[in-house]
Structure 1
Amino acid sequence: MSNIGLIIEERSRDIGDFLVGRLIPFRKKRMIGPFIFIDHMGPTTLGPSKYMDVDQHPHMGLSTLTFMLEGEIVHEDSLGTHQRIRPGSVNWMTAGKGVTHTERTPKDLRNGNVFTAHGYQIWVALPKELEEMEPQFHHIDAQDLPKWEDGDTKFRLVAGKGYGKESPVPVHSELFMVEIQNKETYTLNVNGNLKGEIGICIVSGGIEACGETVGEGNILVSKVEDTCNITLKPNTHLLLFGGEPFPEERYIYWNFVSSDQTKLEWAKTAWANKTFPMMENDNTYVPLPS
């Protein structure tokens, strides 16, 4: 019997001029380990009159992980952060009890040139005891992430622990996110190298697993402990992510995550009344969804 429990197909949606593909949450699978939300941004062509401008919006009860494959974004938040993120680096913002931020195309790239923006916006739920922690922001450069090779297959540990290595991204629970790129056919071994639930996100190319052939734009969901052999087709790009699931259910409303639904109601009221922590240098405001 196949132990790939679910294949999730990317569902496209338009956020202004930016097309994203929602991967999770999915009606049959709300979380994979502590990962509760993944949007695939692009690839999309930006410039000379279309840029990425995500106005000031709130988060609570989660950490955001921004990972760009192409293009650059400037992150600013209510902590006073101003950080440019380039391909291969990690922006890790822990919202805790509440933070707001914007994500925009850098000013110096708004010069009439055309370029590609492509990346992933990921939310990781916080453990129950840390849901109301003080907000934090960390940026990790690409060269500081663990990297290794197996033949012509390249690995990068984006966050958490895996394959006997640990990323410097300061995560708050047992999780992993690994980027894999190969040139020739490659058999991937995850048993003993990762712990917890696993999501296999196919950025490009395709894989064969448990008798299934799956192409780009899909996530396979399985348990690491009994995952069958995974064969990467030539020139495939994967993101593996997951970890140990939490014992409690998580509720999600818009950009807020909590193990307590009453906290979601508080966050909705605070954002509607603009008593949420706000940025000092940005007057934009994304209204609460109706």
Structure 2
Amino acid sequence: MSNLSSQCEHECDFVEACDAVELMIEPRERDLGGFSVRRVLPSAKRKMVGPWVFFDHMGPASFPAGEGLNVRPHPHIGIATVTYLFSGEILHRDSLGSLQAIRPGDINLMVAGHGIVHSERERPQITASAHRLHGLQLWLALPEHLEEMAPAFYHYTDDEVPALTVDGVPVRVMMGTAYGATSPVKTFAETLYVEAHLLKGQVLALPDAEERAVYVARGGLKARETVIPEFAMACFDGRAGLEVEATTDTRIAIIGGERFGRRYIDWNFVSSRPERIQQAREDWREGRFPKVPGDDKESIPLPD
């Protein structure tokens, strides 16, 4: 999805936690016109968790008949976008000619590389009646030697994502390897992305990773004596054997992976080199990015 705000870093409340929780990020909800977004990454005190450079929790949004998500074509460089829906549907189009409906449980991976343009809308069959949209949108920074790779598009359906039970907890290994399962979703560096549903009182050991964090999409957790409330992200240190316990029925996303060097972000552009971002800005302003087949009549202008 496009960064619909010209400001990449959202204001967040930061909680000083103890022990293995290095930082707690509690994002503030922001209305983007028709639906709300909680932007967790990047934040003022934490820019990335492993290769993850952007984390948005969108919705849940309720749309009346005739309305819905309508994000015009916009560009990206230097990242791979990951879209995962809890409910609803998004129609993805991009400048490679991809046309794909994203449904709950699917993983949509778009590799921007040296430059791609895409739009996110909804099919008329969806907007014809009242509906809801709810999910996560994340960006993976590409390793420096792959930042200018050729754009690509991958889509994985719900049944392709490994699902297992860990100590009674239903878990999906979305990207990377965890709990003895490896996701087929393509990665470009050591990457971790896991979803879990815990009932009140259930405990889940966190997978090991150089950097990792847990986001509470619904419910609440505690890590030893540290409370992790709904819509908060707890960033953990790298020690092994850490566990979280659900204080109520809870849905979480665990992200992480290898530590990356600094990335610069400007609107929808990410790079290890600020001059590359300036070039991308000028390329978009001057119309040098490719068009989206079937959706080439409008676009989002470059923000000031």
Q: TM-score range by the shorter chain?
A: over 0.9
* TM-score, structure 1 normalization: 0.95
Q: Is 2:230 aligned against 1:216?
A: yes
SS at 2:239 equivalent: helix
**Aligned with residue 150 of structure 2, among 134, 141, 153:** 134
**Aligned with residue 57 of structure 2, among 16, 40, 45:** 40
Task: Rate the CA distance shift 1:183–1:210 in 2: closer, same or farther, 3 A.
Answer: closer
SS at 2:277 equivalent: helix
Q: Is 2:19 aligned against 1:12?
A: no
Q: Superposed, which structure 2 residues align to 1:81-100 within 5 Å?
A: 81-100=98-117
| 1:17-44: CA deviation from partner (whole Å, max 9, x where unpaired) | 2211111100000000000001111011
Between the two proteins, what is the percent identity of the paired residues?
Answer: 36
Residue equivalent to 2:218:
204
SS at 2:148 equivalent: coil
How far did residue 151 of structure 1 move? 4.9
CA contact (8 A) 1:152 1:183 kept: no
Amino acid at match of 1:78: S
Q: Is 2:268 aligned against 1:252?
A: no
Runs of 5+ consecutive residues of structure 1 not aligned to the other structure: none
CA-based RMSD of the aligned residues comes to 1.3
SS at 1:108 equivalent: helix
Aligned length: 286
Amino acid at match of 2:162: P
Q: Is 2:199 aligned against 1:176?
A: no
**Aligned with residue 144 of structure 1, among 152, 157, 160:** 160
Residue equivalent to 2:286:
273
SS at 2:259 equivalent: coil
| 1:179-223: CA deviation from partner (whole Å, max 9, x where unpaired) | 000224112112xx3322111000111001141112211100012
How far did residue 169 of structure 1 move? 0.8
* TM-score, structure 2 normalization: 0.91
| Consecutive aligned runs of 4 or more in structure 1 exceeding 6 Å deviation | none
CA contact (8 A) 1:176 1:194 kept: no
CA contact (8 A) 1:3 1:226 kept: no
Residue equivalent to 1:157:
173
How far did residue 227 of structure 1 move? 6.5
Task: Rate the CA distance shift 1:224–1:115 in 2: closer, same or farther, 3 A.
Answer: farther
Distance in 1 between residues matched to 2:212 and 2:187, nearest whole Å:
17
SS at 2:213 equivalent: strand
Distance in 2 between residues matched to 1:175 and 1:139, nearest whole Å:
17
SS at 2:176 equivalent: strand
Q: Which moved more, 1:117-126 or 1:157-166?
A: 157-166
| 1:97-117: CA deviation from partner (whole Å, max 9, x where unpaired) | 000000112221121x22221
Runs of 5+ consecutive residues of structure 2 not aligned to the other structure: 1-17
Distance in 1 between residues matched to 2:138 and 2:178, nearest whole Å:
18
Amino acid at match of 1:57: H
